[in-house]
Amino acid sequence: MPAAAETRKWDFWIDRGGTFTDIIGRDPQGRLHPRKLLSENPEAYADAAIQGIRDLLGLKAGAAISADAIGDVKMGTTVATNALLERKGDRVLLLISKGFRDALRIAYQARPDIFAKEII
């Protein structure tokens, strides 16, 4: 079995927002490294999360990222939530087939006793 030091890799936690992308990287020695980039900066990079990982690994823009150097990448985003709350973004249409006609009603969770164990 390999020693713990041999199996340690970089871990990344990323929060992509509408304006900024925040990245925390943990190096193989356990030190934390924060990074903040503009979420949209097409002149400098195509994707802020990928560029932030490159920056923390000491790679140049556009350089390949070795999967062997990375343990975990966990990412969250508020972009879709903000678009809904601000009523921005493209219009969408929801089509539901006959077998799923109650899916939207269920999704709204609008029943009298939402935490009831027996609902029938």
3-state secondary structure of 84: helix
Domain boundaries, the chain: 4-85
CA distance 66 to 95: 41
- The top-level CATH class assigned to 4-85 is alpha beta
Query: What pLDDT digit, counting tens, does each position of 60-108 carry?
Result: 988 999 999 999 999 999 888 888 888 888 888 878 788 877 777 777 7
Q: Which two tokens stand for residue 36?
A: 């903040």
pTM of the model: 0.67
Q: Is 59 exposed, middle or buried (0-12, 13-18, 19+ CB in 10 A)?
A: middle
